[in-house]
Structure 1
Amino acid sequence: MPPALPPEVEIAGRKVGAAHPPFVICELSGNHNGSLERALAMIDAAAATGCDAIKIQTYTADTITLDVDRPEFRIHGGLWDGRTLHELYREAQTPYEWHAALFERARANGVILFSSPFDETAVDLLAGLDAPAYKIASFEAVDLPLIRYAAARGKPLIISTGMANLDEIEAAHAAAIEGGAAGVVLLHCVSSYPAAMADANVRTVADMAQRFASPIGLSDHTPGSAASVAAVALGASVIEKHFTLARSDGGPDAAFSLEPAEFTALVADCKAAWAALGRAHYDLLGSERANRQFRRSLYVVADVSAGQPLSKANLRSVRPGLGLPPGDLDAVLGRPAARDLKRGEPLAWDMVVR
C-alpha cells in the first residue's frame, strides 16, 4: 500500500487543498494557433485574469501518435470530425523551442506556469525548465510508466481522470505516490469536448474526496462557469478551464474555452464560492448583531390600564425585537397588566402580574 499523503500539496510556494482558496488553472492548450506571439499574448492575458497558474501541453505530433491514415487514427464525430490524430496534434502542438520563452514570460508576469508532458522527452524538457508541477492528461492516466517517470522528478502531479474507472484512478494515484511525487491532486473530468452540463456529474468531486487522501478538483470542459463553481461548493481544491483570447479566432479548443473577461469572472466566482462556504455554525455573527434588534417581539399595541388582562387585542408580535420573545405570547395572554401600559411599549415581565 502506498504511503499516506498530506491533505494538501504545495506548487511553487502555493498551498493547494481544501483549507485554501481554489487553485485556478488557465489551460492554453493549442489555442495559440501556431503563433509564438499569440502564445505569449495569451500568457499576458491569462495572468491578468487573476488565475493561480497557467498550463500548456508538451508534445509533438510524432511523440503522441503516428502519421498513419488507418481508420483508428481518424476522428469520427465532434469538433474534429474527419481529421487524423497526427494532423490535429501537428496543428495544436506547442513547439519545444517555444517553451523557454513561455516560462520566461510567465515569470515576468509573476504567475506559475507548468505543463502536461505526454512522453519522457517532454518530462525531461520540463524538468530542465524547473517546472514546479506536472499535469497528467486524462488520456494518459492509464500510462503508468509515464506517471512514474514524471513522479520521479519529485514534484507534485495533477492527474485528470476522464474516462478512467475507479480501479484505473487508484492505480494512477498509487503509481504517482510510489514514483516519488511530492503530492498528488486528482481532477474529476469528463473527456468530451465540449462536455454537456448533464454529463458533468460534479458530485463525483465530493465522492473522490472521501476515497482519496489527496486534494480533489475539476477539469471542466462544460460551457460557462457553473460547473466549476458547483465543484468548489462540493469541495474542489483545483479548477482547470481552457482559455482563449477570442473564440471567434478559432483554434483546436476555442469552442469550449473562456475569453479573458469570462475567465476573470470564473476566478472571482470560484474564490467567492469558497469564501462563502465558511463553516457550519449557529452563532450570532458580528455582522448580524446590529440587525438583531429588528427581530419580532411582543409589543403593546393598544393602551392597557393596570389590572386589565393582556389579550391579542392589545398585544402583538411585531418588529423591532426589544420586547419579550414571541414564544412567550401564550404565557402572558390573560394575565393582568402590572401598571398602565402605553401603545408602542415593548413588553417586559415586570409589566405583567405573574
Structure 2
Amino acid sequence: MSVRIGRSVVGSEYPVYVIGEIGLNHNGDVEIAKRLIDVAVEAGAQAVKFQKRTPEIATPEHMRDVPRETPWGTMSYLDYRRRVEFGEPEYLEIATYALRAGIDWFASPWDVPSVEFLEGLDVVAHKVASASVTDLELLEAIATTGKPVILSTGMSTLEEIDRAVEVLGTDRLVMLHATSSYPMPPEEANLRTIGTLRSRYLGVPIGYSGHERGLQISLAAVTLGAVAVERHITLDRAMWGSDQAASLEPTGFEHLVRDIRVIGEAMGDGVKRVFPGEEAPRAKLRRVPAL
C-alpha cells in the first residue's frame, strides 16, 4: 500500500520520503525557520515538519511552573512554551515560504485546538508525535480530518500502537519506528522493529524517525526497508534548545539525503541478471562458457 502526502507518494515502490524535522529548532524565530526550510530544500527532502501546541493544554501540569533557563532569561516552563510557539501570522508566512520553495510542510499537533488550527492552514498531513500515541482524544480529532497521518511509535508498546491504529485506521497511515532517546545511543535503535511493524500492520508503509547522532543508523533503516526517514535539522548543533544536539546540520542532512538516494538506486528489484557493465568482463575473464 502507498499513501499520497502532498506532492509525494510514500511506499516501497517510490523514493524514500525524507522529512526535515524543524520542530522547535527555530527557537521562536521565523527567519530561522525559513533558513531551515532552505536547508531541507537544498538537501532534496520532500517535506519539513513543525510542532504545534496550545501551551496551556499541551504543557503537563507538573511541568508548568518548573523554572527554565532560556536565552531570554529564567522563566517558567509554560512561559517558555509560549515564547517559542508560532501563531497564525508566523505559520502563514511559513506556509507561503514553503509553497514558493516547492516543499510540503505539516506539523505535529499536541492537542485538539492545534488540529483545528492546522486544518485552517490546510496542511497536507498530520504527524502524531510519539508522546501522543496514547492521547485518544487527539487521535480521534486527527482521524476526523481525513488527512494522511504519520504515526511515530517511540516510547510505546505494541498494545498502545494497536489502540492508536484502531482510532486512526490504516487507509492513509504511515508508521515510523522510533526510539525517543535524545540523542539516541546505537544500542537503543532496535532497527529490526521495522520488520516487526511491517509484519504486524500489513499494508501500512513503515519508515524511521531517528534521534541519533550521525547518519549510519538512518541509512541502515533504509536498507531494512524504511520507506520514509525523518531527522531533526538545525543550523548549528551548538544552538540553544533541547533537540539541537540530536539534529543534523545542513551538510550532514545533505549527505543523508544523498546517501538515501544512492541506496535507493542500489537496492534493485531482486532479480538476478547479467548487467550490461558485466558483459565485457564476462567475455574477457570466463574461460569456460556456460552450457
TM exceeding 0.5: yes
Superposed displacement of residue 63, structure 1? 2.5
- Could you report, residue by residue, the CA deviation over 1:120-178 in whole angstroms, capped at 9, with x for unpaired residues? 1111111111100000000001112211111111110001001111111111112111x
Q: Secondary structure at the match of 2:196?
A: helix
Q: 2:239 aligns with which of 233, 238, 249?
A: 249
Partner residue of 2:109? 117
Cα distance in 1 for partners of 2:61, 2:159 equals 32
Partner residue of 2:143? 151
Q: TM-score scaled to structure 1, two decimals?
A: 0.75
Contact 2:176/2:208 (<8 A) preserved: yes
How many equivalent residue pairs? 284
Cα distance change, pair 163–67 in 1 and its aligned pair in 2 (3 A): closer
Q: Secondary structure at the match of 1:21?
A: coil
Q: 1:172 aligns with which of 164, 174, 186?
A: 164
Contact 2:182/2:246 (<8 A) preserved: yes
Partner residue of 2:199? 210
* Higher fraction of helix: 2
Structure 2 matches for 1:167-246, cutoff 5 A? 167-177=159-169, 183-212=172-201, 213-246=203-236
Partner residue of 1:266? 256
- Determine what percentage of the aligned residue pairs are the same residue: 37
Cα distance change, pair 43–244 in 1 and its aligned pair in 2 (3 A): same
Partner residue of 1:99? 91
Contact 2:5/2:148 (<8 A) preserved: yes
The two structures, once aligned, show a CA RMSD in angstroms of: 2.3
Letter in 2 for 1:292: R
Structure 2 matches for 1:283-322, cutoff 5 A? 283-297=273-287
Letter in 1 for 2:150: I
Unaligned runs of 5+ in 1: 1-6, 76-82, 298-323, 329-354
Structure number with larger C-alpha Rg: 1
Name which structure has the greater RCO, CA cutoff 8 Å, separation 6+: 2
Unaligned runs of 5+ in 2: 68-74
- Could you report, residue by residue, the CA deviation over 1:234-291 in whole angstroms, capped at 9, with x for unpaired residues? 1101100000111133323110111111101111111211221112222211221122
Cα distance in 2 for partners of 1:87, 1:275 equals 48
